[in-house]
């Protein structure tokens, strides 16, 4: 794939002045709130990649806009950014929310000019769990996922043989090596799940520019073409020194990688 696939315009292309909502006045779909940030100079005839960022438990709807890093120069000009909110913010994203993704996807692709070949999802903590689940259940709609600081979700076991994934995605699995909130077990399990799905080898190579302790990213060898798996076992103390937060390197890394698609 790697940038060779032509854009796949959504039915929202050509619709001027689409509804975007805001943190103060969000849109709703299927019992969930969300809002959209359009790229600078949005052109309704041009299909844009979209980043959907799922926020962590017990945080306001604007957490991702303020903290995920996709409002920086680069994504702000080139991507549509979608910021959804869990139905129950105090319990975060869970198995009961998975059914909401299809209506969300249908609504944004019908209203906005989205390149359906370049839809990305990422998230932190329960939002990370959720983006990882979607990378299997809705792989037919997503090009890549960036799950961070995940925990086990019993309804969606990390077994590539039993889960009925709808396709393949590039996966960037991010987890703190000293995560004191959800522990450190689930990061490697999520990595291995995507390694299995994409037929990667156990051997890895360091990712240039992301070898320090605050990122520490490696790429699995031998993955299916255009579906690499990255593993970033970082030491960023972010999130009150719990090593559980969305690390500072993450938006830069995801932007630089996903922009090549």
pLDDT at 4: 79
Stated pTM of the model: 0.97
Q: How far apart are CA 241 and CA 236, in angstroms?
A: 8
d(CA 258, CA 170): 9
Contact residues for 81 (Cβ-Cβ < 8 A; gap 6+): 36, 37, 50, 51, 53, 65, 70, 71, 75
CA atoms within 13 A on the CB side of 115: 21
Q: Which domains does the chain have, with CATH numbers?
A: 27-258 (3.40.50.1820)
- Per-residue pLDDT, 2: 47
Complete DSSP assignment for 211-246? -STTT-EEEESSPPTT--EEEEEE---TTTTTS-S-
Percent of the chain with pLDDT over 90: 97
pLDDT at residue 85, as a whole number: 98
Q: In what order do the strands lie in the sheet with 48-54?
A: 27-29, 32-37, 80-84, 48-54, 114-124, 144-148, 170-176, 229-234, 217-220, 204-206
The pLDDT assigned to 238 comes to 83
pLDDT means per 10 residues in the chain (261 residues)? 80 96 98 98 97 97 98 97 97 97 98 98 98 98 98 97 96 98 97 98 97 98 98 93 96 98 95
pLDDT for residue 228: 98
Residue 39 and residue 80 in contact, taking contact as beta carbons nearer than 8 Å:
yes
């Amino acid at each position: 794939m790697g940038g060779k696939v032509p854009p796949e315009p959504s039915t929202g292309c050509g619709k001027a002045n689409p509804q975007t909502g805001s943190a103060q006045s969000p849109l709703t779909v299927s019992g969930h709130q969300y809002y959209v940030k359009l790229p600078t100079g949005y052109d309704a005839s041009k299909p844009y990649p979209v980043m959907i960022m799922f926020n962590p438990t017990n945080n306001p709807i604007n957490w991702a806009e303020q903290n995920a890093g996709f409002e920086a120069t680069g994504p702000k000009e080139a991507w549509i950014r979608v910021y959804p909110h869990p139905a129950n913010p105090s319990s975060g994203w869970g198995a009961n929310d998975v059914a909401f993704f299809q209506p969300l996807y249908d609504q944004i692709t019908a209203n906005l000019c989205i390149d359906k070949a370049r839809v990305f999802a990422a998230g932190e903590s329960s939002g990370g769990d959720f983006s990882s689940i979607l990378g299997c259940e809705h792989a037919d709609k997503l090009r890549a996922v960036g799950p961070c600081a995940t925990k086990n979700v019993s309804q969606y076991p990390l077994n590539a043989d039993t889960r009925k994934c709808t396709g393949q995605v590039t996966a960037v699995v991010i987890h703190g090596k000293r995560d004191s909130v959800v522990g450190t077990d689930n990061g490697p399990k999520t990595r291995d799940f995507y390694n299995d799905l994409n037929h990667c080898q156990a051997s890895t190579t360091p990712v240039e520019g992301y070898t320090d302790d605050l990122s520490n990213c490696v790429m699995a060898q031998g993955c299916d073409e255009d579906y690499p798996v990255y593993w970033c076992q970082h030491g960023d103390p972010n999130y009150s020194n719990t090593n559980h937060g969305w690390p500072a390197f993450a938006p830069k890394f995801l932007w630089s990688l996903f922009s090549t698609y």
